[in-house]
A and B are shown apart, each in its own frame.
Chain A
Amino acid sequence: MAHLRFLLRRAVQGLAVIWIVTTITFALIHLAPGGPSILADPKLSPVERRAAEERLGLDRPLAVQYLVWQRNLLRGDLGRSYLYQTPAGRTALARVPNTALLAGLALLLSLAVAVPAGIYAGRRPGSAADRLLGLGSFAALSVPTFWFGIVLIILFAALWHLLPAGGTSTPGLEGSPADRVRHLLLPVLVLAVPVAAEFARYVRSGVATAAHAPHVAAARARGLDERLILRRHVLRNALLPLVTIVGLQAPLLAGGAAITETVFSWPGMGRLGVEAALGRDYPVVMAITLGVAAAVVAINLVLDVVYYLVDPRVRIG
């Protein structure tokens, strides 16, 4: 019962975060000098401007506008895109699968690399392998993501003609899985590198710390097999914080996706967000800000459940 209440409280907190984000976004749009860009069109006459204000409800008091906006939000109505003349929410949603594919693969790749590498280095602190991993993750966290992408394009596309420079598929080869993989390789790699570096650092220090814990020494004294000690006594403790770290990386992964998608002309939500921001397409900018905040909150909620499943202390306490 206690844990259900815990999860419920986290869900309510998540909703509160989303509500705060929407309120701030609303304030941001409506306090902007000159109002929404639709009214800033110099071709509009004063009469047309007033008509547009009335149509958009901008002549009403701010409090009323805010309530109307919240009501529309609850109905899933995020307004119409200025650039595409489509419902902003649906336009943003249509790009989600592309971004989810990219970010999901990057997350899997970084975990697949970082966890074994971190365990290996953490069991041998101070060794050559450990120092190499330290140096590698240090460099990976210092490299500007978009520049790394550009360098990969120069090498693999411009110089060696091995991989495509961007897009999701080659015209004429749309259905081919091999072609799809070739287009995914570089952007997934770019997105995964800094995340993997962050994960590897945590796994490494977690394993190195847990290896010296009294309960591990006790297990060793009981003569348990080294592999069993690693699996049961070291990793269980060392990998737990990773759940939190994955949650903390989610917002940064979303930002990284925006940059990576722009560099590789990948038609995802991040690139849509950048284009909408450049084109001052406020409804789309807001839809994406909201969507990303909601996604991050949802991911953290799922991780809370995972925590509940893997950490008995959460269940009891």
Chain B
Amino acid sequence: MPRSASALLLVLLVLFAWAGPLLRRTDPDALDLRHTVAPRSAAHPLGTDESGRDVLARLMAGGRVSLTVGIVATFVALLLGTLVGAVAGWRGGWVESLLMRGTDAAMAVPPLFVALAVLSIYGSRLWLVVGVIGATSWTGVGRLVRAEVLALREAEFVLAARALGRGGAGIVLRHLLPQLVPTLTVAASVGVAWAILTESALSFLGLGVQPPRASWGNMLTGAQASLYTAPRLAVWPGVMILLTTLACNGLGEALRRRHTR
């Protein structure tokens, strides 16, 4: 997908989730047990769900939760990955071996199972859901950053900074990190897609975002009960997730192509 189309789609999704409720003030959590699984009407443009809640309002509220979780979790992953990768690449030696073998070990464990185990033991609090997704998806970033730092370590501008008496941390922060920005932006946009897919899967399984708070994933859990009678309930949240991941992956792909050319 071209860059502009992906970016536009992302902007529209953000507007839908955050500006939508300003135009349409319907409470996403208001129950109406006399009108459950209602078809579309003037009051409910996309109908109501199994508890009589307005589907459109819940899509907006769920979008705010899903997008926020996706973005914050990606930020956590980038932070962890950059830290591990930069330290390993810069320090080298046994520090590098230790960190990279740790990264290998972390890659060998299925992220979803770690998330299931942690959330089942500590409970599905929102910040923990975010933290677990971030903490299980930093390994790719860690490897990328290490490889780049390793390549840049011997560059002449680094030597110059060293000659000026700057310390290791200063060089990494002031001189190497800016060089990593293109790599990190690609990793970020693909990462958001991955984080949103993981969040929606966890919420769908009942261990992510907890009802009554809406997320695109847990809306699908509720919809599963009425697949035969009201399949549309299962279609809308999935379409929202798909549009978001398409836009994020599309943006990442376009940035990567521009970066490598």
A residues neighboring B (CB under 8 Å): 13, 16-17, 20-21, 25, 28-29, 32-33, 138-139, 141-147, 150-151, 153-154, 157-159, 165, 248, 251-252, 254-255, 258-259, 262, 273-274, 276-278, 280, 282, 285-286, 288-289, 292-293, 296-297, 300
Dominant secondary structure of chain B at its interface with chain A: helix
In whole angstroms, how far apart are the Cα atoms of A25 and B113 in the complex?
11
Closest residue of chain A to B205, judged by CB?
A274
Interface residues of B toward A: which range? Answer: 35 or more
Of residues A28, A147, A165, which shows the largest number of chain B Cβ atoms within 10 Å of its Cβ? A147
Set B110, B220, B246: member contacting A254, Cβ < 8 A: B110
Determine how close the nearest CB of chain B comes to the CB of A20; give it in whole angstroms.
6
B200 located at the interface, meaning its Cβ lies under 8 Å from any Cβ of chain A in the complex? yes
Which of B30-38, B114-122, B146-154 sits within the interface?
B114-122
Closest residue of chain A to B105, judged by CB?
A17
Q: Which residues of B contact A151 (CB under 8 A)?
A: 234-235, 238
In whole angstroms, how far apart are the Cα atoms of A273 and B117 in the complex?
9
Q: Which residues of B contact A277 (CB under 8 A)?
A: 116-117, 119-120, 205, 207
Determine how close the nearest CB of chain A comes to the CB of B7; give it in whole angstroms.
16
Q: In the complex the two chains form, is A17's CB within 8 Å of B108's CB?
A: yes
With contacts A150-B234, A255-B113 known, what are 19 further pairs, Cβ within 8 A?
A21-B109, A138-B246, A138-B253, A141-B249, A146-B204, A146-B220, A147-B200, A147-B220, A158-B231, A251-B108, A255-B112, A258-B116, A273-B116, A274-B206, A278-B206, A282-B121, A289-B117, A293-B109, A293-B110
Q: In the complex the two chains form, is A285's CB within 8 Å of B205's CB?
A: no
Closest residue of chain A to B193, judged by CB?
A142
Q: In the complex the two chains form, is B121's CB within 8 Å of A273's CB?
A: no
Q: Which residues of A contact B116 (CB under 8 A)?
A: 258, 273-274, 277, 285
A-B CB contact pairs (8 Å), 9 listed: A17-B104, A144-B197, A144-B241, A151-B238, A158-B231, A277-B116, A278-B205, A289-B109, A296-B110
Closest residue of chain A to B200, judged by CB?
A144
Q: In the complex the two chains form, is A144's CB within 8 Å of B120's CB?
A: no
In whole angstroms, how far apart are the Cα atoms of A33 and B104 in the complex?
30
Q: Which residues of A contact B242 (CB under 8 A)?
A: 142-144, 147
In whole angstroms, how far apart are the Cα atoms of A293 and B117 in the complex?
13
Q: Which residues of A contact B223 (CB under 8 A)?
A: 150
Chain A proximity mask over B74-118: 1 for CB below 8 Å, otherwise 0 = 000000000000000000000000000100110111111110111
Q: In the complex the two chains form, is A258's CB within 8 Å of B193's CB?
A: no
8 closest A-B pairs by beta carbon, nearest first, are A255-B112, A147-B238, A277-B120, A251-B110, A142-B245, A277-B116, A154-B231, A254-B110
In whole angstroms, how far apart are the Cα atoms of A282 and B250 in the complex?
40
B12 located at the interface, meaning its Cβ lies under 8 Å from any Cβ of chain A in the complex? no
Set A20, A258, A282: member contacting B112, Cβ < 8 A: A258
Q: Which residues of A contact B204 (CB under 8 A)?
A: 146, 259, 262
Q: In the complex the two chains form, is B121's CB within 8 Å of A158's CB?
A: no
Determine how close the nearest CB of chain B comes to the CB of A316; give it in whole angstroms.
24
Q: Which residues of A contact B234 (CB under 8 A)?
A: 147, 150-151, 154
Q: In the complex the two chains form, is A297's CB within 8 Å of B108's CB?
A: yes
Determine how close the nearest CB of chain B comes to the CB of A49; give it in whole angstroms.
19
Q: Which residues of A contact B120 (CB under 8 A)?
A: 276-278, 280, 282, 285
Q: A147-B220, A278-B120, A289-B117 are in contact. Are A142 and B249 (CB under 8 A)?
A: yes
Question: Which B residues between 1 and 45 are near A, CB-CB below 8 angstroms?
Answer: 1
In whole angstroms, how far apart are the Cα atoms of A281 and B108 in the complex?
23
In whole angstroms, how far apart are the Cα atoms of A144 and B237 in the complex?
11
In whole angstroms, how far apart are the Cα atoms of A306 and B13 in the complex?
46
Q: In the complex the two chains form, is B224's CB within 8 Å of A150's CB?
A: yes
Determine how close the nearest CB of chain B comes to the CB of A197; give it in whole angstroms.
11
Q: Which residues of A contact B104 (CB under 8 A)?
A: 17
Q: In the complex the two chains form, is A144's CB within 8 Å of B245's CB?
A: yes
Determine how close the nearest CB of chain B comes to the CB of A153; give it in whole angstroms.
6
Determine how close the nearest CB of chain A comes to the CB of B5; give it in whole angstroms.
13
In whole angstroms, how far apart are the Cα atoms of A278 and B234 in the complex?
22
Q: In the complex the two chains form, is A138's CB within 8 Å of B249's CB?
A: yes
Determine how close the nearest CB of chain B comes to the CB of A158; give it in whole angstroms.
5
Q: Which residues of B contact A138 (CB under 8 A)?
A: 1, 246, 249-250, 253
Of residues B118, B121, B193, which shows the largest number of chain A Cβ atoms within 10 Å of its Cβ? B121
Question: Which B residues between 222 and 261 are near A, CB-CB below 8 angstroms?
Answer: 223-224, 227-228, 231, 234-235, 237-238, 241-242, 245-246, 249-250, 253
Determine how close the nearest CB of chain A comes to the CB of B230; give it in whole angstroms.
10
In whole angstroms, how far apart are the Cα atoms of A280 and B107 in the complex?
25
Set B1, B101, B107, B238: member contacting A13, Cβ < 8 A: B101
Q: Which residues of B contact A297 (CB under 8 A)?
A: 108
Determine how close the nearest CB of chain B comes to the CB of A297; give it in whole angstroms.
6
Determine how close the nearest CB of chain A comes to the CB of B219; give it in whole angstroms.
11
In whole angstroms, how far apart are the Cα atoms of A138 and B201 in the complex?
19
In whole angstroms, how far apart are the Cα atoms of A98 and B231 in the complex?
28
